[in-house]
Amino acid sequence: MTKIVAGLIGLGTVGSGVVELLKKQDFITIKTIAVKDPNKQRPQIEGSTITCNIEEIVNDPQIELVIEVAGGIEPIYEHLKNAIKKGKHIVTANKKLLATHGPELFALAQKNSVRLLFEASVAGGIPLISTLQKGLPANEILSVCGILNGTTNFILSKMSKEGTGYDEALKEAQILGLAESDPTDDVEGFDVAYKLCILSALSFGQFIDPISVQREGISRLKAEDVETARRLNCSLKLIALGRRDNLTEKIDLRVHPILVPNAHSLSGISGANNAIIIEGSAAGKICLSGPGAGKLPTASAVVGDVITLCQNKHLPLEQKSLKIKNKENKNKSKNKKSQCGFKNYLRLVLGASSKPGVLISALAACKIIALQIEHDGLLTYTMVTDSQSDEQIDKFRKTLETYDIKVVSRLRILEDESFSLTA
């Protein structure tokens, strides 16, 4: 195996895990480590220089590989571009950077004959990227569907299994180090959207701008929604879903809280674990699951890329490059809502001026079939619709408003052959 000299950007949770795992390898030397605060108390790392200046890594001619686990876009984007221009290989776990600037970085790596590896950017320790790149090249990927954020899965698991409130579950996730002090990226679905954009490039041959992903987080979910999942024999999960419309060729990417039938393989994924189902044209459906975050699982993916690089550094360039089509989705701003359909659970509250029978009239006007309707005898109805597009559900909402009926909760249902609406 080729020996290599590396620089490491970031020495937080994942960075310290990378150092821990690389200590056991004799093929690599970490010459320089860039950190935000060089005066912070930390264990001495033998043979490595600590600096707060990333340019010391970028401009060092002895350093052949830059390992980036700091996260964020600026100033990392400019530093990695400069490193690539100087002929340095890159291993990164930075999903936000790749989702936002992937086309430029991969093109630049190709131009400068270097490798850009990113296994740790999606699903932590699960070998998802390598499965798509190396395990399924004979397949057209039809869809990807999964749980890609351990923080939200932990919170929803606590709410569902223990009856914990959202705020309490989030606080526990923060105490355990599963959630940041500002959890917005996780709980509002941004983190999953970035990962889904990377999977789109690998699965469907297109980089999609993260702005185009239809995204909803979990912060607005209520105890009633968790109870609904239980009553319908479902679990509540934040699901990433990517698929290609066979008629229009449009790539549909979405992140939503979704009701997952208990018989579905994603329903039992609990705690901070991740899981992803890949549907290939030849292989069929493949499910990968495991720890999606954490110090050593993510570091394992980073170091796996480093080992791959050292084993294959001298392969011809055509075997190194990311195999995606050279085109981007141009719908970078708000796309029209996709026509992909879901069954929907809706909770409705009747206003003072609403009258008996108007709900049936609204369903008929919008050509929606109610598979189930329940009434609490007061002002609330719940229903499950047949499969409908987002556009059709939006039309239904507006129609209901004219009858003084408000939709206070909508949850999509991940359809499954064994799904039953009976409790």
pLDDT in tens, 162-198: 999 999 999 999 998 888 899 999 999 999 999 999 9
Instruction: With respect to residue 423, please indicate whether it lies within any of the assigned structural domains.
Output: no
pLDDT band at 1 (very low <50, low <70, confident <90, very high): low
Long-range contacts of 389-392 (CB under 8 A, 24+ apart): 389/337, 389/338, 389/339, 389/340, 389/341, 390/214, 390/337, 390/338, 391/336, 391/337, 391/339, 392/341, 392/366, 392/367, 392/368
| Mean of pLDDT over the chain | 89
Whether residue 137 sits in one domain with residue 276: yes
Q: Please indicate, yes or no, if residue 325 is contained in any of the structural domains.
A: no
| Assigned domain for 328 exists | no
Annotation marks residue 195 as catalytic: yes
The neighbouring-strand residues paired with 413 are 259, 343
Catalytic residue among 31, 96, 195, 295: 195
pLDDT tens for each residue of 226-235: 999 999 999 9
Q: Name residues whose C-beta falls within 8 Å of residue 42's C-beta, 6 or more positions apart in sequence.
A: 11, 16
Mean pLDDT value across residues 94-122: 95
Print the domain residue range for 349: 341-413
β-strands 405-413, 28-34: how paired? Answer: unpaired
More reliable by pLDDT, 322 or 268 = 268
Q: How far is it, in rounded angstroms, from Cα 81 to Cα 36?
A: 20
Alpha helix ranges (H) inside 205-252: 223-231
Q: Do residue 221 and residue 249 come from a single domain?
A: yes
pLDDT for 318: 43
Q: Mean pLDDT, to the nearest integer, of 67-86?
A: 96
Tens of pLDDT along 269-285?
A: 999 999 999 999 999 99
State residue 178's pLDDT score: 87
Q: How do beta strands 49-51 and 28-34 pair?
A: parallel
For residue 215, pLDDT over 90 is answered with: yes
CA 187 – CA 199 distance, rounded (Å): 20
In a domain, 326, yes or no: no
DSSP state of 353: T
> 88 with 133, same domain?
no
Mean pLDDT, residues 94-102: 96
Kindly report the CATH number assigned to the domain that includes residue 45. Answer: 3.40.50.720
Note whether 127 and 288 are within 8 A (CB).
yes
Residue 233 covered by a domain: yes
Indicate the pLDDT class of residue 40, thresholds 50, 70 and 90: confident
Are 158 and 76 members of one domain?
A: no
Same domain assignment for residues 143 and 282: yes
pLDDT digits (tens, 9 = 90+) for 286-341: 999 999 888 899 999 999 999 999 887 665 444 344 544 444 444 433 344 456 78
> CATH number for the domain including 228?
3.30.360.10
DSSP letter, residue 212: G
My answer on whether 116 and 136 are in the same domain is no
| Cα distance between residue 170 and residue 209, in whole Å | 29
Whether residues 199 and 166 fall in one domain: yes
- The half-sphere exposure of 343 on its side-chain side, counting CA atoms within 13 A, is 21
Asked if residue 421 is part of any domain, the answer here is no
Q: Which amino acid is at 410?
A: R
Shared domain check, 152 and 112: no
Number of H helices, E strands in the chain: 14, 17
Relative to beta strand 4-9, strand 405-413 is unpaired
- Do residues 178 and 285 share a domain? yes
241-258 pLDDT, tens digit per residue, is: 999 877 777 899 999 999
Co-location of 32 and 61 in the same domain: yes
What CATH code is carried by the domain that includes residue 398?
3.30.70.260
DSSP state of 321: S
Q: What is the DSSP string of 148-211?
A: --HHHHHHHHHHHHH---HHHHHHHHHHTTSS-SS-HHHHTTHHHHHHHHHHHHHHHS-B--GG
Q: Could you tell me if residue 345 is inside a domain?
A: yes
**Residue for token pair 């609403």:** 354
In this prediction, residue 376 has a pLDDT band, given cuts at 50, 70 and 90, of confident
* Distance from C-alpha of 314 to C-alpha of 292, rounded to nearest angstrom: 31
Q: How many domains does the chain have?
A: 3
Say whether both 176 and 119 belong to one domain: no
Place of tokens 């996780």: 186
> Do the domain assignments include residue 36?
yes
Helical spans, DSSP H, in 217-275? 223-231
* pLDDT of 313: 67
Do 158 and 179 share a domain, yes or no?
yes
Residue 132 carries which DSSP code?
I
**Cα(411)–Cα(238) distance, rounded to whole angstroms?**
11
pTM: 0.91
